[in-house]
């Protein structure tokens, strides 16, 4: 079988042949070129060998040098000082902008750099900058900056830097013991160093344009000129004589500002040396005294949002550094025997100090009680830092804690000696600390009272008021807020005791009424410390106390007055002669009561708003009946001081009491202006007693104040009912009064007005003052009043009136 195929195209055939030939030729070329390429590589072999050797050497150097040296270098900054004994401080050196300051700084910066470069720190040295000078002979303050690899950082510390630099100076000291550089003779022992941060240096630099240096000598007190308001930041560099610390007194002169004052225990604004910071004309501390640990201090001012001319006053004075080691021999008495105080109390605690008190206890039957106000001790089982002082009480480590309560620490003397130490390791300090000390009987820690284990305080037992936080003082009481007849165990009202009628079966309620008895919740304590059985014996024209103290200070209580009341009745002139109207710019704001010839008692919440915090804005009017008109029987006074209870709590209204000091004494010659009587701490007012409140408050919750002084009778409510009604917001310093139907109540504008109860011989005793409540005249909700029997001790301490 034949297959007919076309003849190939000569051109295609030629092309295919050519490609085939070319392919064969290329193959032959490649084969021919291989020997040539191998020879070229050998030609460049020396170059490749050199490159490999360089790379190997470089890698080896990197691994040996760079690999062991970190790329990260950590900056370290220190604030240092040295004493130049060959030079003296001049005025120009206290002015950073002067030519003398700049020239001297350059020379001394060279001194510092040579010191560092001559030491092991040379490889880390970055720079040194002089920022201030001081007296004695010439003290130079400078920044020292190092840059340390991170692997070396743990070994380059403040102490190691100090040791290294001291070694350089001591190695080159002269016969006189000084290190000499050029014309400068340096005292090596004067070298001081503190850790700093770059933010500290920046803060200091921001105030360099408004820098003031002041040296204050022993016995001087210097007023510091206010800040220059062309700047937003100023500093006062303060220095005193050796062996002294500095006390800076600060007083805010305006009720409102946003300035900040920061005080440091160093010549530079170091965060690690911060003592305290005051902000915004603080009303909590209108005045304060701040102490340093040594003879150098820095005060830094930062301007607030608004520009006020001198919103504060500053003075500085040096005080000798005193030892705080005390040995105390206690006597066999349960009375207070003295106080433990931080140095220069009530000034702020100085930074970094230690106090120790060694007590000698007269008998193993006694322990020691330390009583604090606004401060307590808590057991510290770890070594966490204590921010308000570290206490060592015998073998117990305890931390101080500031709070708005009283507290007692009871110490059981294992041997005849008790050691108590207090250390303030933190730079940041606070107000000074004081504690009174006395003995207590181990077998009977609180005679006639109950010991609260939660706070160490002795409180009345079974008086109807739950003083202990765990309420144990009112638990298991057979006769709560009553007198228990000893022979039968029956209960009678306290007011029936020593009233001339035998209410108990065997008449035990009328026994021992003319002699001293053990003190208890309802006995009256005489000035000599003894107690009488008769309740409320004061000012009844009968001498019940052996020292007759129950009949002293009885020129009070001849009527009473109050403000804004619901269901009230108009008062008459002279009916409530202690009633006061506290006004701002002629407008009645709160009520009050005259308790002494220069003191008005009112509520703390009246003065808590910022706009009412300054005493200068207040006017007190006594003898007033109508707000819209004046009479010749009225007396007007300016206010020089407002004293709020230090434990007042704005949220809970606890300790809602304040004292107002008048600019001059009240002439007690008019029957229309007379003081009210204050109760004793054990004054007894039975539940359901009728007492009176007076005032110019609104007639209803949303109404305006009334023009004429009103009076209203209110019923004293049981403490348990009051507490249950307000869901346990009632503290032992509060009580309720009023009616369940809300027909009679105090209201807005009555705050601070007195609630008075009629006592023996017709004298009126102020038992409470208007504090707070759930609205005005709301059914089922009583008004809440401050209980003065729990607050009268503080009133006496402030006024000096008993």
DSSP codes, 16-46: HHHHHHHHHHHHHHHHHHHHHHHHHHHHTHH
Both 313 and 329 in a single domain? no
The DSSP secondary-structure symbol of 62 reads I
Do 605 and 750 belong together in one domain? yes
Same domain membership, residue 164 and residue 83: yes
Residue 20 maps to a domain = no
Candidate list 244, 371, 588, 605, residue with the active-site label: 605
Q: Which domain holds residue 127?
A: 73-196
Contacts of residue 546, defined as CB under 8 A and 6 or more positions apart, other chains included, come to: 516, 526, 528, 530
Q: In terms of domains, do 691 and 709 share one?
A: yes
Q: What is the pTM of this model?
A: 0.80
Q: Is position 515 within any domain?
A: no
Shared domain for 187 and 221, answered yes or no, is no
Q: What is the reported pLDDT for 258? A: 82
Angle (CA) 138 313 306, round 5°: 110
- Determine whether 278 is an active site residue: no
Asked about 605 being catalytic, the answer comes back as yes
Whether 640 maps to a domain, the answer reads yes
Question: What per-residue confidence (pLDDT) applies to 36?
Answer: 43
Query: Which residues are bridge partners to 410 per DSSP?
Result: 369
As a whole number, mean pLDDT of residues 772-801 equals 90
Same domain for 118 and 226, yes or no, is no
Q: Contact, 388 vs 402, CB < 8 A? A: yes
Helices (H), 86-218: 99-117, 158-171, 198-206
- Tell me whether residue 494 is in a domain: no
pLDDT, tens digit, 9 for 90 and up, residues 587-638 = 999 999 999 999 999 999 999 887 888 889 999 999 999 998 888 889 999 9
The residues facing 492 across adjacent strands are 483
CATH, residue 312: 2.60.120.290
Q: Identify whether the C-beta of residue 424 lies closer than 8 Å to the C-beta of residue 399.
A: no
Do 314 and 238 fall into the same domain? yes
**698, β-bridge pairs:** 705
631 and 710 housed in the same domain: yes
In a domain, 546, yes or no: no
Cα–Cα distance measured from residue 785 to residue 737, given in angstroms and rounded to the nearest whole number: 7
The predicted structure's pLDDT at residue 777: 75
Number of domains in the chain: 4
Of 292, 320, 348, the position where a domain reaches its end is 320
| DSSP-based three-state secondary structure for 757 | strand
Domain end, chosen from 320, 337, 360, is at: 320
pLDDT at 27 (0 to 100): 40
For residue 9, is pLDDT > 50? no
Q: Rounded to whole angstroms, how far apart are CA atoms 142 and 561?
A: 67
Give how far Cα 592 sits from Cα of 471, 635, 657, Å.
33, 14, 10
Say if residue 491 is exposed, middle or buried (CB neighbours under 10 Å; 0-12, 13-18, 19+): middle
Q: What pLDDT, on the 0 to 100 scale, is given for residue 35?
A: 46
Residues 174 and 222 in one domain: no
Judge whether 30 lies within some domain.
no
Nearest to 157 by CA among 117, 194, 106: 194
One domain for residues 297 and 438: no
Backbone phi and psi for residue 714, each to the nearest 5 degrees, phi listed first: -130, 150
The answer on 136 and 220 residing in a single domain is: no
Residue 526 lies in a domain: no
Tell me which H or E stretch contains 390.
Answer: strand 390-393
Same domain, 793 and 660: yes
Which one from 654, 656, 745, 750 is the annotated catalytic residue? Answer: 656
Per-residue pLDDT at 197 exceeds 90? yes
Nearest 5 degrees, angle CA 266-CA 178-CA 140?
A: 30
Q: What is the mean pLDDT of residues 61-66?
A: 51
199 Rama class: left (phi>0) / alpha (psi -120 to 50) / beta: alpha
Helices (H) and strands (E) in the chain, counts: 7, 44
Please tell me the least confidently modeled range out of 18-22, 297-301, 610-614: 18-22
What is the CATH classification number for the domain harbouring 748?
2.40.10.10
Catalytic residue among 751, 753, 771, 786: 751
Q: Does residue 652 carry a catalytic annotation?
A: no
Domain termination site, one of 320, 339, 366:
320
> Average model confidence (pLDDT) for the chain?
87
Q: Measured between alpha carbons, how far apart are the two ends of the chain, in Å? A: 151
Question: What is d(CA 399, CA 390) in angstroms, rounded to the nearest whole number?
Answer: 5
Whether residue 467 is contained in a domain is answered as no
């Amino acid at each position: 079988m034949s297959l007919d195929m076309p003849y190939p195209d000569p051109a295609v055939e030629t092309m295919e042949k050519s490609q085939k030939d070319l392919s064969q030729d290329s193959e032959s070329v490649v084969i021919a070129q291989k020997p040539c390429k191998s020879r070229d590589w050998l030609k460049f072999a020396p170059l490749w060998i050199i490159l490999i050797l360089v790379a190997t050497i470089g890698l080896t150097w990197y691994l040996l040098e760079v690999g062991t040296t970190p790329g990260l270098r950590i900056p370290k900054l220190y604030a240092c000082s040295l004493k130049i004994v060959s030079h003296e401080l001049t005025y120009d050196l206290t002015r950073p902008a002067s030519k003398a300051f700049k020239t001297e700084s350059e020379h001394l910066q060279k001194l510092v750099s040579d010191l560092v470069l001559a030491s092991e720190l040379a490889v880390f040295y970055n720079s040194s900058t002089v920022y201030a000078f001081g007296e004695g002979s010439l003290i130079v303050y400078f920044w020292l900056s190092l840059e340390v690899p991170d692997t070396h950082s743990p070994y380059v510390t403040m102490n190691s830097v100090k040791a290294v630099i001291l070694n350089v100076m001591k190695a080159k000291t002269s016969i006189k013991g000084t290190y000499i550089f050029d014309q400068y003779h340096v005292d090596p022992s004067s070298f001081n160093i503190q850790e700093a941060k770059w933010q500290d240096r920046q803060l200091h630099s921001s105030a360099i344009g408004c820098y003031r240096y002041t040296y204050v000598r022993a016995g001087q007190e210097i007023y510091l000129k206010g800040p220059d308001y062309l700047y937003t930041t100023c500093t006062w560099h303060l220095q005193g004589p050796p062996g002294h610390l500095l006390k800076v007194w600060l007083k805010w002169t305006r009720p409102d500002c946003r300035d900040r004052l920061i005080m440091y225990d160093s010549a530079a604004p170091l965060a690690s040396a911060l003592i305290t910071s005051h902000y915004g004309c603080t009303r909590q501390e209108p005045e304060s005294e701040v102490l340093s640990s040594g003879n150098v201090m820095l005060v830094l001012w930062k301007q607030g949002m608004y520009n006020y001319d001198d919103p504060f006053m500053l003075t500085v004075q040096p005080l000798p550094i005193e030892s705080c080691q005390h040995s105390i021999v206690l006597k066999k008495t349960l009375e207070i025997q003295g106080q433990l105080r931080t140095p220069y109390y009530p000034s702020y605690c100085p930074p970094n100090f230690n106090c120790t008190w060694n007590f000698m206890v007269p008998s193993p039957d006694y322990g020691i009680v330390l009583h604090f106000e606004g401060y307590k001790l808590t057991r510290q089982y770890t070594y966490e830092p204590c921010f308000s002082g570290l206490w060592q009480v015998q073998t117990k480590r305890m931390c101080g804690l500031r709070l708005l309560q009283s507290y007692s620490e009871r110490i059981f003397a294992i041997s005849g000696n008790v050691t108590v130490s207090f250390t303030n390791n933190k730079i940041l300090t606070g107000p000074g600390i004081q504690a009174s000390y006395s003995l207590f009987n181990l077998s009977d820690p609180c005679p006639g009272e109950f010991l609260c284990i939660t706070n160490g305080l002795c409180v009345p037992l079974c008086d109807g008021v739950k003083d202990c936080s765990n309420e144990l003082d009112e638990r298991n009481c057979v006769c709560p807020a009553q007198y228990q007849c000893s022979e039968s165990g029956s209960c009678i009202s306290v007011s029936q005791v020593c009233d001339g009628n035998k209410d108990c079966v065997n008449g035990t309620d009328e026994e021992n009424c003319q002699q001293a008895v053990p003190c208890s919740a309802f006995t009256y304590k005489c000035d000599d410390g003894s107690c009488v059985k008769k309740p409320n014996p004061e000012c009844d024209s009968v001498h019940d106390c052996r020292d007759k103290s129950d009949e002293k200070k009885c020129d009070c209580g001849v009527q009473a007055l109050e403000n804004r009341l619901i269901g009230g009745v108009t008062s008459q002139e002279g009916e409530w002669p202690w009633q006061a109207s506290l006004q701002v710019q002629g407008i009645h704001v709160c009520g009050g009561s005259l308790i002494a010839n220069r003191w008005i008692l009112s509520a703390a919440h009246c003065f808590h708003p910022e706009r009412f915090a300054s005493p200068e804005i207040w006017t007190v009017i006594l003898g007033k009946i109508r707000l819209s008109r004046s009479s010749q029987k009225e007396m007007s006074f300016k206010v020089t001081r407002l004293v709020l209870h230090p434990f007042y709590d704005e949220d809970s209204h606890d300790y809602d009491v304040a004292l107002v000091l008048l600019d001059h004494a009240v002439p007690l010659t008019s029957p229309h202006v007379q003081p009210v009587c204050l109760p004793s701490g054990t004054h007894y007012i039975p539940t359901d007693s009728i007492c009176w409140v007076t005032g110019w408050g609104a007639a209803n919750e949303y109404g305006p104040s009334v023009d004429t002084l009103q009076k209203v009778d209110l019923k004293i409510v049981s403490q348990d009912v009051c507490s249950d009604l307000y869901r346990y917001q009632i503290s032992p310093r509060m009580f309720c009064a009023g009616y369940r139907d809300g027909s009679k109540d105090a209201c807005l504008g009555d705050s601070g007005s007195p609630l008075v109860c009629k006592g023996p011989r017709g004298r009126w005793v102020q038992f409470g003052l208007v504090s707070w409540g759930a609205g005005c005249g709301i059914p089922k909700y009583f008004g809440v009043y401050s209980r003065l029997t729990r607050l009268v001790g503080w009133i006496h301490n402030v006024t000096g009136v008993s």
